[in-house]
């Protein structure tokens, strides 16, 4: 037996989409995307509002029929096997759908019943899950009284009640304050380490960088790039970015010729100029020697935000 | 054995209901009992003093089954409007359901089923009270319970479908006032429809409430005839079937677009 052999994966991919489309009347929300997600991956859709992330997630979640292309989830076709697929999914939708009138624990119990799990098993599972999302001490509180971050964590707990093979999270931390976001990230990170397959959407590049092994960048219904965060940055951005802010727009405008003289690629935004370079410090020295006056100036590592900007000419938050 | 999908929804509604049962006690029991006391006994006494009967019965006996069916209609109508808007738009619990094996049609079925069951339970309590008032002369009266439930279903099925098509609840009070309330008055609840002007009578036959009222009345007075009953049951079942066809479409459109 050779020790080193090509590992033949018999496990089929959990999600395969080819030319997947979603149209609402005449408007196209998802415009022919190809996606492939393997078991154990944390896969992300990064894109601005309106990119088609939710529409894609709803098709994968078997609640929204596809308008075109092919889609297979857990090896089945959502068009014909929706209930069987959904029985093995855990879904955290973009907008909360918790039952505000019930308690935290009741929300998990009832959700478990939708999967027809035995009551005793759900009770044990609910306690485990509330412990996992650090809501044990709020078990008997009405959901109404929870903070946004707690609601999000409860939604995650609820989504795990059926021990899903695939967890779908649509913008898991949108609208949360930084501290609440970190709590959610921490839980998702743990899930990932336990081997869960996560598919998430986000318009936060730091979220994508933190959580995703691999991601696609979506814009206007299409995938514009794919890879690991590191690969994407290496491929589409320079090592460093010099960020310059000026006192006024006219000062910024006046500075442009000198910036162009550096020879690096330049992105002009409303409130700042970005200089894509591999020699940040040398460039800054040159500019300062040149007498360039800036309000602030910083050299940072390139991020997915820069990748998005390079590919689309726009920022994610727009 | 697996629990049918719609039953899982109904079980959820039943659980929520443990918090809202008070409002149903009002709709299905207190309100018709107040009517029964005021109209059945008060007005009934006046009619009795004149040695008159209504539809061949003492007025209390005549009006009790009418109130029972009408309460089933009114309670079911209210339960089929605002709570549906809560499920689709306000709190969005229906969206949570369809992310699980449950399908939009199961959400619809389970919701209508639980509304109907609630009306049936309310009708049972009312029937007991009415019996204590001496308004239920026949033991066949027990069949008024499924009669009232069927009547509730005939309203719940189409109204639940309608509510799912709405973006706001603006139309709901209009339905209650201009749809449900007039039916309450002209469907043989308080007086036989033969008292209505000739040209309105055929309209009363179109009212699901009238079919419900007649079923309940024939049951509580022990005058149920299988042939007649079948026609009324068929009319109510037709409303439910039509409502369901619309409801499955409306829920699918709303929850699985
Ligand atoms: N139910 C719908 N009806 C009509 N248009 C829709 C609907 N849902 C989404 N869209 C449109 O599809 C596009 C993609 O939306 P969405 O998938 O929600 O993007 P994202 O989640 O990336 O913000 C948007 O232009 C949006 O307006
Ligand atoms: Mg979205």
Alpha carbons A55 and B252: distance in angstroms, whole number:
16
ipTM comes to 0.91
3-state secondary structure of B57: strand
Distance CA A56, CA A65 (A): 10
pLDDT at A185 over 50: yes
Q: Quick check: A95 and B92 CB within 8 A?
A: yes
- Whether residues A116 and B3 touch (CB distance < 8 A) is answered with yes
Contact A75, A245 (CB under 8 A): no
Say if ligand 1 is within 6 A of residue A24 CB.
yes
**Tokens representing B172?**
């709901």
A27 lines ligand 1 (CB under 6 A): yes
Residue A223 burial (CB < 10 Å; 0-12/13-18/19+)? buried
The β-bridge partners of A211 are none
The residue with greater pLDDT, B201 or B101, is B101
Mean of the pLDDT values across residues A265-292? 90
Residue A250 sits at the vertex; the CA angle it makes with A245 and A255, to the nearest 5 degrees, is 60
Judge whether A205 and A45 are in contact, CB under 8 Å: no
A2 has a pLDDT exceeding 60 = no
Burial tier of B192 (Cβ tally within 10 Å: 0-12, 13-18, 19+): middle
- Long-range CB pairs of A208-211, under 8 A, 24+ apart, other chains included: A208/A44, A208/A46, A208/A304, A209/A303, A209/A304, A210/A185, A211/A42, A211/A44, A211/A185
| The two structure tokens encoding residue A140 | 């008997």
pLDDT of residue B46: 86
Give yes or no for residue A181 having a pLDDT over 80.
yes
Give the three-state DSSP class for B170: coil
Ion ligand 2: residues, CB within 5 A, are A 53-54, 94
Domains, chain A, with CATH or none: 15-234 (3.40.50.300), 238-302 (3.30.70.980)
Q: Which protein residue has the closest C-alpha to ligand 1 atom 26?
A: A50
| B49 interface with A at CB cutoff 8 Å | no
Is B210 within 8 Å of B70 (Cβ atoms)? no
Q: Which residues, 6+ apart, have CB-to-CB distance to B21 below 8 Å?
A: none
Radius of gyration of chain A from Cα atoms?
A: 23
Residue A286, number of CB atoms within 10 A of its CB: 14
The whole-number pLDDT of residue A1 equals 41
Question: Which of A24, A83, A101 shows the shortest C-beta gap to B16?
Answer: A101
For residue A194, report the phi and psi dihedrals to the nearest 5 degrees.
-80, 0
Average confidence (pLDDT) over B53-68: 94
Rg (CA), chain B: 19
Give the pLDDT score at B25: 87
The confidence score (pLDDT) of residue A126 equals 98
- Residue A5 pLDDT > 70: no
Q: Does B168 touch chain A (CB under 8 A)?
A: no
Residues of A in contact with B19 (CB under 8 A): 101
The residue among B20, B96, B111 with the most chain A CBs within 10 A of its CB, best to mutate, is B96
Query: What pLDDT sits at residue A291?
Result: 85
pLDDT at A214 exceeding the cut of 50: yes
| Contact (Cβ atoms closer than 8 angstroms) between residue A53 and residue A208 | no
Centre a 10 Å sphere on the Cβ of residue B34 and count the other Cβ atoms it contains: 12
- Phi and psi torsions of A166, nearest 5°: -150, 125
Average pLDDT on A103-131 reads: 97
What pLDDT digit, counting tens, does each position of A22-34 carry? Answer: 999 999 999 999 9
Cα of A220 to nearest chain B Cα, Å: 19
- Tokens linked to B236: 């109510």
Name residues whose C-beta falls within 8 Å of residue B108's C-beta, 6 or more positions apart in sequence: B160, B161, B164, B244, B247, B248, B250, B251
Whole-angstrom distance, CA of residue A289 vs CA of residue A308: 32
Average pLDDT, integer, range A223-231: 97
pLDDT above 70 for A9: no
- Please, which pLDDT band fits residue B172 given cuts at 50, 70 and 90? very high
- Which DSSP letter does residue B142 get? G
Read off the pLDDT band of A3 (50, 70, 90): very low
Please work out whether the CB of residue A48 comes within 6 Å of at least one atom of ligand 1: no
* 3-state SS record for chain A: CCCCCCCCCCCCCCEEEEEEEEEECCEEEEEEEEEEECCCCEEEEECCCCCCHHHHHHHHCCCCCCCEEEEEECCECHHHHHHHHHCCEEEECCCCCCCCCCEHHHHHHHHHHHCCCCHHHHHHHHHHHHHHCCCHHHCCCEHHHCCHHHHHHHHHHHHCCCCCCEEEEECCCCCCCHHHHHHHHHHHHHHHHCCCCEEEEECCHHHHHHHCCEEEEEECCEEEEEECHHHHHHHHCCCEEEEEECCCHHHHHHHHHHHHHCCCEEEECCCCEEEEECCHHHHHHHHHHCCCCCCEEEEEECCHHHHHHHHHCCCCCC
- Which of B3, B95, B101 is the closest to A86 by Cβ? B101
pTM of the model: 0.93
Phi and psi angles of residue A241, each rounded to the nearest 5 degrees, phi first: -130, 130
Please provide the average confidence, as pLDDT, over all residues in chain B: 94
**Lowest-confidence range among A144-153, B26-35, B233-242?**
B26-35
- For residue B10, pLDDT over 70 is answered with yes
Percentage, residues of chain A above pLDDT 90:
84
Contact between residue A113 and residue B11 where contact means Cβ atoms under 8 Å apart:
yes
What pLDDT is stored for residue B53 in this prediction? Answer: 87
pLDDT of residue A28: 98
pLDDT of residue A10: 62
Of B85 and B19, the structure prediction assigns the larger pLDDT to: B85
């Amino acid at each position: 037996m050779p020790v080193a052999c090509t590992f033949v994966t018999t496990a089929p991919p959990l999600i395969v989409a080819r030319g997947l489309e979603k149209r609402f009347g005449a408007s196209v929300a998802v415009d022919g995307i190809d996606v492939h997600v393997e078991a154990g991956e944390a896969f992300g859709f990064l894109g601005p509002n309106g990119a088609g992330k939710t529409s894609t997630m709803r098709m994968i979640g078997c609640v929204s029929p596809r308008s075109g292309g092919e889609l297979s989830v857990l090896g089945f076709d959502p068009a014909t096997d929706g209930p069987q697929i959904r029985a093995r999914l855990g879904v955290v939708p973009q907008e909360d759908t918790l039952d505000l009138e019930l308690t935290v624990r009741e929300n998990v119990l009832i959700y478990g019943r939708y999967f027809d799990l035995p009551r005793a098993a759900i009770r044990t599972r609910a306690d485990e899950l509330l412990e996992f999302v650090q809501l044990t001490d709020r078990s008997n509180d009405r959901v109404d009284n929870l903070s946004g971050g707690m609601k999000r964590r409860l939604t995650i707990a609820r989504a795990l009640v059926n021990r899903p093979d695939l967890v779908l999270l649509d913008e898991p931390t949108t609208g949360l304050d930084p501290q609440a976001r970190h709590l959610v990230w921490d839980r998702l990170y743990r899930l990932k380490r336990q081997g869960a397959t996560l598919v998430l959407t986000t318009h936060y590049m730091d979220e994508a960088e933190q959580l995703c092994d691999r991601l696609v960048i979506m814009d206007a219904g299409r995938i514009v790039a794919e890879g690991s965060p590191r690969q994407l940055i290496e491929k589409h951005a320079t090592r460093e970015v010099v960020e310059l802010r000026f006192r006024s727009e006219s000062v910024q405008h006046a500075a442009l010729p000198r910036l162009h003289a550096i020879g690096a690629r330049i992105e002009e935004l409303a409130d700042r100029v970005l200089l894509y370079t591999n020699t940040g410090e040398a460039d800054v020295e040159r500019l300062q020697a040149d007498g360039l006056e800036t309000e602030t100036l910083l050299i940072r590592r390139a991020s997915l935000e820069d990748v998005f900007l390079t590919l689309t000419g726009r920022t994610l938050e727009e | 054995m697996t629990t049918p999908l719609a039953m899982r929804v109904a079980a959820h509604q039943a659980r929520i209901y443990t918090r809202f049962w008070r409002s149903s006690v009002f709709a299905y029991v207190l309100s018709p009992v107040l009517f029964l006391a005021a109209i059945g006994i008060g007005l009934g006494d006046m009619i009795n003093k004149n040695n008159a009967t209504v539809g061949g019965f003492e007025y209390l006996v005549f009006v009790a089954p009418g109130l029972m069916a009408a309460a089933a209609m009114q309670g079911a109508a209210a339960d089929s409007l605002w709570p549906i808007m809560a499920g689709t738009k306000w709190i969005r619990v229906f969206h949570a359901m369809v992310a699980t094996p449950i399908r939009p049609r199961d959400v619809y079925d389970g919701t209508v089923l639980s509304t109907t069951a609630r009306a049936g339970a309310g009708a049972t309590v009312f029937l007991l009270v009415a019996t204590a008032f001496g308004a239920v002369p026949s033991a066949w009266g027990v069949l008024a319970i499924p009669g009232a439930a069927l009547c509730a279903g005939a309203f719940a099925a189409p109204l639940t479908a309608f509510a799912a098509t709405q973006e706001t609840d603006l139309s709901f009070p209009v339905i209650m006032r201009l749809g449900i309330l007039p039916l309450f008055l002209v469907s043989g609840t308080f007086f036989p429809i033969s008292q209505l002007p000739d040209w309105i009578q055929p309209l009363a036959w179109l009212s699901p409430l009238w079919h419900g009222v007649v079923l309940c009345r024939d049951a509580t007075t022990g005058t149920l005839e299988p042939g007649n009953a079948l026609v009324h049951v068929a009319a109510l079942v037709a409303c439910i079937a039509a409502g369901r066809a619309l409801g499955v479409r409306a829920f699918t459109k709303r929850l699985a677009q």
